[in-house]
């Protein structure tokens, strides 16, 4: 665990996903996907890999991201968001599974509180404290994932 994430071990973090779908929409951004995840998604949708990439994936530098759909002004939905729900939930990318336990979010209490402006599950009044073991498991997955992109 990087020393910059010491705060992650020392403080309590409360979170409970409400299913609001806000983390799948917002300003233009990236939902990174690995080639293995792309293959799993194409298989899930019973689509040819090339056709899937053409329709849903864009290349950014030497990485891949899911496309987005502009819904209004500066608001963009992930291409797989349907009525606030993920339409490929069982094969969604790792970064969607590990959110909000990302290094950029949990590296300080400030960044955690800042993220709560976008994610209502963070510090939600009904949320329980998430045990350190569970948080570490998700964070480790995300760190390994980011290295592999
Ligand atoms: S923004 Fe937070 S509470 Fe809403 S769906 Fe995403 S993780 Fe859950
Ligand atoms: S793949 Fe699913 S969970 Fe991930 S951003 Fe898109 S709609 Fe949300």
pLDDT tens digits along 135-144? 999 999 999 9
| Residue 23 φ/ψ, nearest 5 degrees | -75, -5
Mean pLDDT of the chain: 94
Helices (H) and strands (E) in the chain, counts: 7, 8
> Which pLDDT score, from 0 to 100, does residue 4 have?
59
Instruction: With beta carbons less than 8 A apart as the criterion, state whether 56 and 63 touch.
Output: no
Residue minimizing CA distance to atom 2 of ligand 1: 119
Retrieve residue 33's tokens.
């996907």
State how beta strands 75-78 and 25-26 pair.
antiparallel
86 lines ligand 2 (CB under 6 A): yes
> Which pLDDT score, from 0 to 100, does residue 148 have?
84
Q: What is the pLDDT of residues 1-20, one digit of tens each?
A: 565 577 777 888 999 999 99
Q: How confident is the model at residue 44 (pLDDT cuts 50, 70, 90)?
A: very high
Structural domain span for residue 25 = 3-148
From the CA of 28, how far away is ligand 2's center (Å)?
14
For the CA of 20, the closest atom of ligand 1 is: 4
From the CA of 133, how far away is ligand 1's center (Å)?
21
This prediction has a pTM of 0.92
Number of domains in the chain: 1
* CA–CA distance, 84 with 96 (Å, rounded to integer): 14
Instruction: With beta carbons less than 8 A apart as the criterion, state whether 95 and 145 touch.
Output: yes
Retrieve residue 55's tokens.
């329709």
From the CA of 5, how far away is ligand 2's center (Å)?
26
Q: Is 43 helix (H, G, I), strand (E, B) or coil?
A: helix
Closest CA to 37 of 118, 115, 98, 105: 98
């Amino acid at each position: 665990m990087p020393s910059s994430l010491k705060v992650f071990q020392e403080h309590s973090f409360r979170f409970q996903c409400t299913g609001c779908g806000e983390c799948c929409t917002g300003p233009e951004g990236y939902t990174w996907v690995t080639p293995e995840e792309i293959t799993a998604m194409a298989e899930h949708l019973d689509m040819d890999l090339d056709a899937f990439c053409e329709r849903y994936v864009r290349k950014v530098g030497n990485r891949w991201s899911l496309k987005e759909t502009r819904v209004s002004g500066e608001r963009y939905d992930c291409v797989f968001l349907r009525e606030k729900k993920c339409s490929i939930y069982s094969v969604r990318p790792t970064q969607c599974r590990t959110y909000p336990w990302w290094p950029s979010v949990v590296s300080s209490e400030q960044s955690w509180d800042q993220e709560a402006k976008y994610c209502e599950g963070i510090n939600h009044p009904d949320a329980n404290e998430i045990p350190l073991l569970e948080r570490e498991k998700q964070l480790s997955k995300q760190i390994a994932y980011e290295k592999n992109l």
